[in-house]
Amino acid sequence: ARVAVLISGTGTNMAALLYASRAPDCPFQLVLVASNNPAAPGLALAAAEGIATFALPHKGMSRADHDAAMDAAIRASGAEYVALAGYMRVLGTDFVQRWDGRMLNIHPSLLPKYPGLDTHVRALGAGDTHGGCSVHIVTAELDSGPLLDQTPVAILPGDTAETLAARVLIAEHQLYPRALAAYVGRERAPDYLIGRVRELAL
Ligand code: GRF
């Protein structure tokens, strides 16, 4: 399956997806890396690795116009799925509906806990034993779509938001490629995910 990855920053999750796609049996390939931030380091990496890129600053554009321009670039790339990977824009309902059931996101918490920002400091503040990350289907409500998979990450004594984030990021880099591969190849997905997909009637 052809996937467009949307980033806003470093793009380590995009890189994890890119290198996972090099496996001979990987069911997805990256066809585009797009960003609202022309300076996103992930764009330079994607270009150097031979992946098409698209960058369009959102400054001075309405949300609807920026979303529409991003959508046009994604469709022009031939992408069948969209993977949000640290894309820091809230997408409008038109865009979400256009990609209904075909757009995934990775979020650095054990959803449904801690949707939104500052997830690690909230987990630490709550005295949780674990933080973690989640891959979900994107719906109009932020960070609330059907969960595909997640990884709990133990919180250690003395953890700060930064040390926890760094550990969760390692888990993200394993979770996203696995969850995306299972989802785009859901006809051949492992049973546990088939059940999920059936449950979600996707
Ligand atoms: C990750 O922590 C991801 O969970 C969150 O933003 C960060 C993106 O990092 N959505 P990167 O750009 O993939 O390195």
State pLDDT tens for residues 120-166: 999 999 999 999 999 999 999 899 999 999 999 999 999 999 999 99
Predicted pLDDT of residue 193? 56
Torsion sign over Cα 181, 182, 188, 190: positive
Identify the band that residue 2 occupies on the pLDDT scale cut at 50, 70 and 90: very high
Predicted pLDDT of residue 199? 60
Q: Relative to the CA of 13, which ligand 1 atom is closest?
A: 13
The ipTM of this complex is 0.95
Q: Relative to the CA of 11, which ligand 1 atom is closest?
A: 12
Residue in 12, 18, 174 to alter for ligand 1 test, most ligand atoms within 8 A of Cβ: 12
173 is catalytic: no
Residue at 140: amino acid letter = A
36: annotated binding-site residue?
Answer: no
Q: Is residue 200's pLDDT more than 80?
A: no
Q: Are 29 and 57 in contact (CB under 8 A)?
A: no
DSSP string, 27-96: S-EEEEEEES-TT-HHHHHHHHTT--EEE---TTS-HHHHHHHHHHHHHHTT-SEEEESS--SPPPHHHH
Predicted pLDDT of residue 125? 98
- What's the CA gap between 109 and 132, in Å, rounded? 5
